[in-house]
């Protein structure tokens, strides 16, 4: 009888565990899907702008360059928010699932870029340099995000069951370090003025990740407050944010405090986007698809963006911002078609490239 009871208890525990994991998988936050969908579309716009980074830009292009700066912080906010919600999964399993979703697509896309350079350019990289570029996610400039999200997930794993007061303390510390980094860069934390080191800096990216974490801990009251904002307050956020970005545009880009104003823009717009999603209860299937495929779009869209850039070199008379809009639209649609084809042909194995 004791053995039967033990087996019954083991079976019940297993069923309870599976039920909790299933419930965790079913739990979705449509507002997080919404901000991820917007962010990935804006990422494509940013890279469609990229061939103007080293040219004299019009006022519209400068405005777009500043306005689109919210994309990566929003992704990190969403990552921190969702990471803390996965309490039903053991830490080792959570890290394994995260790594299996992030790393194989990155390796496959990196293999494409490494092969392209070896076959079609004079850049003959050594094996050691290739390994280094793979580890630090330097196989393409935009893949710095993979390096960032990996170390943030490891950091998050160490904090999963930390007290709320400790999380708040670390969030405030990260905010102080971010401000110090911006105001003193590169003197305080960087030996050289390396853009690559800045992009990978934990002092830059920990703030949005922990902001998402903190919001997740108190999300019920925060959601209620944001969702109940009157129309006048929500409209005021947009007006203030637009005025802020317009005021930032003519400021010298070498002035450090300019970055702090950009950060204010990032979070003002985030509050507005959350309000729109919560108040309107947006749950469109296309928004969810963009959210679920956002990582795959991030890794693959740059191929099509660069293709469009090459084509536009033959049409110099077709100036910005029209070509930015056309490049972003074409690149997004082709990327979605490409990922949908992979999903149809490969089935579940498409996860190796899409990441979802």
Confidence category of residue 356, pLDDT binned at 50, 70, 90: low
Q: What is the mean pLDDT of residues 277-304?
A: 91
87-98 tens-digit pLDDT: 778 888 889 989
pLDDT above 70: percentage of residues in the chain: 82
Does pLDDT of 311 surpass 50?
yes
Does pLDDT of 262 surpass 80?
yes
- Polymer length in residues for the chain: 356
**Considering only CA atoms, which of 65, 123, 75, 121 is closest in space to residue 299?**
75
Confidence category of residue 186, pLDDT binned at 50, 70, 90: low
Q: What is the DSSP string of 92-147?
A: HHHHHHHHHHHHHHHHHHHHHHHHHHHHHSS----HHHHHHHHHTT-SSGGGHHHH
CB 65 within 8 A of CB 93: no
Confidence category of residue 39, pLDDT binned at 50, 70, 90: very high
Q: What is the largest CA-CA distance in the chain?
A: 85
Residues sharing a CB contact under 8 Å with residue 97, sequence separation 6 or more, in sequence order: 89
Q: What is the mean pLDDT of the chain?
A: 82
91-136 tens-digit pLDDT: 888 899 899 999 999 999 999 999 988 887 777 778 888 898 999 8
Distances (CA, A) of 186 to 175, 192, 196, 295: 17, 6, 12, 30
Sequence-ordered alpha helix ranges (H) in the chain: 2-26, 30-49, 59-67, 71-84, 91-120, 127-135, 144-159, 164-184, 195-199, 202-217, 219-227, 231-248, 257-280, 285-292, 294-312, 322-346, 351-354
| Terminal-residue alpha carbon distance, the chain | 45
Q: What is the mean pLDDT of residues 249-253?
A: 71
pTM of the model: 0.86
Q: What is the CA radius of gyration of the chain?
A: 22
Task: Find tokens 């099509």 and name the residue.
Answer: 304
Residues sharing a CB contact under 8 Å with residue 188, sequence separation 6 or more, in sequence order: 180, 181
Between CA 141 and CA 144 the distance in angstroms is 6
Between CA 144 and CA 139 the distance in angstroms is 9
Does pLDDT of 60 surpass 80?
no
**H-helix or E-strand containing 69?**
none
Between CA 184 and CA 219 the distance in angstroms is 34
């Amino acid at each position: 009888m004791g053995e039967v009871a033990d087996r019954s208890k083991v079976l019940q525990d297993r069923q309870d565990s599976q039920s909790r994991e299933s419930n965790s998988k079913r739990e979705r936050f449509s507002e997080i899907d919404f901000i991820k969908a917007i962010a990935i579309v804006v990422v494509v716009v940013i890279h469609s702008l990229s061939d103007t980074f080293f040219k004299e830009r019009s006022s519209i292009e400068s405005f777009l360059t500043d306005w689109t700066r919210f994309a990566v912080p929003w992704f990190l906010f969403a990552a921190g928010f969702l990471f803390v919600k996965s309490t039903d999964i053991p830490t080792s399993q959570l890290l394994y699932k995260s790594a299996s979703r992030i790393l194989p697509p990155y390796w496959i896309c990196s293999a494409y870029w490494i092969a392209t350079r070896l076959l079609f350019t004079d850049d003959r990289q050594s094996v050691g340099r290739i390994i280094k570029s793979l580890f630090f996610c330097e196989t393409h400039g935009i893949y710095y995000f993979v390096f960032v999200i990996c170390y943030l997930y490891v950091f998050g794993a160490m904090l999963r069951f930390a007290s709320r007061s400790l999380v708040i303390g670390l969030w405030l510390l990260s905010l102080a370090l971010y401000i110090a980094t911006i105001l003193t860069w590169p003197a305080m934390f960087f030996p050289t003025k390396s853009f690559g080191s800045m992009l990978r800096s934990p002092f830059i990216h920990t703030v949005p990740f922990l902001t998402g974490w903190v919001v997740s801990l108190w999300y019920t009251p925060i959601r209620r407050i944001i969702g109940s904002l009157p129309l006048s307050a929500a409209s005021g956020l947009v007006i203030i944010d637009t005025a802020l970005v317009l005021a930032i545009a003519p400021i010298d880009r070498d002035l450090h405090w300019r970055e702090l104003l950009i950060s204010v823009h990032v979070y003002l717009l985030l509050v507005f986007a959350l309000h729109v999603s919560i108040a309107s209860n947006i749950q469109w299937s296309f928004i969810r698809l963009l959210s679920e495929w956002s990582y795959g779009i991030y890794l693959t869209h740059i191929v099509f963006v660069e293709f469009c850039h090459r084509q536009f070199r033959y049409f110099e008379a077709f100036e910005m911002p029209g070509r930015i809009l056309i490049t972003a639209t074409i690149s997004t649609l082709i990327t979605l078609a490409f990922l949908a084809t992979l999903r149809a042909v490969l089935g579940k194995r498409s996860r190796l490239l899409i990441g979802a």
